[in-house]
Each structure stands twice: as structure tokens, then as C-alpha cells.
């Protein structure tokens, strides 16, 4: 590797994978290079394949393993990020009766519950690597400030959820 980037020597063929989505991408590239019949192939990892890969399902699996290990050790996950619990798993860790009583006491029953806020709905979840370009563009645009806030306010008014009983 001449300068630590993905730029190879002039005229050399760079063998690369177009969908680098697993941690063993380097070994797979090496295998492709070894299988290649071209002698001037260089052993490089293109930066775009390494830096911008999105492992999608690996993130879900790793999070689920962390959540299970935390529960096994008697711990509780802090909700600073997404959670991947099922509803049954979530409420087996947290006191649902107490939580529902507090929601009733403070008249918050019409709002999303904490499990609905932090848990990813895996039935409708699509890994970013499985999205079409149009889906990715829509999702990316919708999550940008201030679009995300405007979208949320419009949804409240369109669904008339601001008129709680």
C-alpha cells in the first residue's frame, strides 16, 4: 500500500468487493486476490468498502446478545439508544404494573409507552444495507433536522392525537 489510502499503483488492477458487509471482508478480498489470474493485482482495501459498509443485521444480533448478557448478570440497559427486546422480554425486566399505574396517575396513557419509544419494531425494520436507494433517501431526509420535528408536529395534527379525552 503506497500511501495508506485506497489508491494503487498506476496500471494495477484493484480487486474489490462491491458489498462489503461483514467483518471478514479483508479475508474475502485476499481470497479473491489469490484466486485472480492477474499478477499485477494489489492487496488493497478500498476505503469506501471499509468505512461506509453497514452491517445491519449484525448490529441487531450484537445488541440482542448484549441485552441478554446484561439481563443474565442482573443488569438493566439504559435507554440512550435503541433496544431490541421483544415486548415479553422488556416487561420481564421492568415492572409493567408500576409503570402503568404511574401513566394513569399522570394522565399519560395516551402517549407512547417507554417500550414503544426505545424498542425497534423488528417486523418492519429493514437493514440499511437492504434498502433501495429511494427508501434510504426518504429515511435519511425524514431523520434530518428540522424535517424530523416538522414531520412529528404534522403527524400530531393530522392524527388529531393532540385532542386527548
Q: Give one DSSP letter per residue of 6-57, joined into a string.
A: S---TTPPBP--S---STTHHHHHHHHHHH---TT-B----HHHHHS---TH
Q: What's the whole-model pTM score?
A: 0.46
Q: Which tens digit of pLDDT belongs to each residue from 23-43?
A: 666 676 677 767 766 565 565
C-alpha cell recorded at residue 131: 434498502
* Residue 2 confidence class, pLDDT cut points 50, 70, 90: very low
Are 35 and 95 in a shared domain?
no
Are 137 and 163 in a shared domain?
yes
Are 37 and 47 in a shared domain?
yes
Q: Quick one: pLDDT at residue 146?
A: 82
C-alpha cell recorded at residue 95: 415492572
DSSP label at residue 129? G
Are 119 and 75 in a shared domain?
yes
Are 124 and 58 in a shared domain?
yes
Q: Which tens digit of pLDDT belongs to each residue from 74-130?
A: 888 888 778 888 889 999 988 999 999 999 999 998 888 898 888 887 766 666 667
Q: Is 127 helix (H, G, I), strand (E, B) or coil?
A: coil
Are 33 and 13 in a shared domain?
yes
**Alpha-carbon span 129 to 71, nearest angstrom:** 29
Enumerate residues 6+ apart whose C-beta is below 8 A from 135.
126
Q: Which of these three, 53, 68, 90, is where a domain ends?
A: 53
Query: Is a pLDDT exceeding 80 seen at residue 65?
Result: yes
Is there a contact between 86 and 63 (Cβ–Cβ < 8 Å)? no
Q: Which tens digit of pLDDT belongs to each residue from 123-151?
A: 666 666 677 878 878 877 777 778 777 87
Are 93 and 152 in a shared domain?
no
Q: Which tens digit of pLDDT belongs to each residue from 70-82?
A: 899 988 888 877 8
Are 70 and 115 in a shared domain?
yes
C-alpha cell recorded at residue 123: 417486523
Are 77 and 61 in a shared domain?
yes
Range(s) of the domain holding residue 164: 131-165
Are 99 and 154 in a shared domain?
no
Amino acid at each position: 500500500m503506497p500511501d495508506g489510502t485506497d489508491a494503487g499503483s498506476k496500471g494495477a488492477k484493484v480487486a474489490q468487493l462491491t458489498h462489503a458487509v461483514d467483518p471478514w471482508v479483508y479475508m474475502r478480498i485476499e481470497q479473491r486476490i489469490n484466486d485472480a489470474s492477474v499478477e499485477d493485482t494489489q492487496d488493497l482495501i478500498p476505503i469506501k468498502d471499509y468505512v461506509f459498509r453497514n452491517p445491519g443485521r449484525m448490529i441487531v444480533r450484537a445488541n440482542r446478545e448484549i441485552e441478554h448478557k446484561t439481563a443474565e448478570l442482573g443488569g438493566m440497559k439504559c435507554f440512550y439508544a435503541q433496544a431490541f427486546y421483544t415486548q415479553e422480554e422488556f416487561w420481564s425486566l421492568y415492572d409493567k404494573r408500576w409503570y402503568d399505574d404511574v401513566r394513569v396517575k399522570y394522565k399519560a396513557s395516551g402517549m407512547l409507552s417507554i417500550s414503544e419509544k426505545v424498542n425497534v419494531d423488528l417486523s418492519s425494520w429493514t437493514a440499511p444495507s437492504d434498502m433501495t436507494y429511494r427508501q434510504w433517501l426518504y429515511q435519511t431526509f425524514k431523520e434530518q433536522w428540522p424535517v424530523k420535528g416538522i414531520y412529528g408536529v404534522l403527524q400530531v395534527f393530522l392524527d388529531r392525537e393532540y385532542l386527548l379525552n
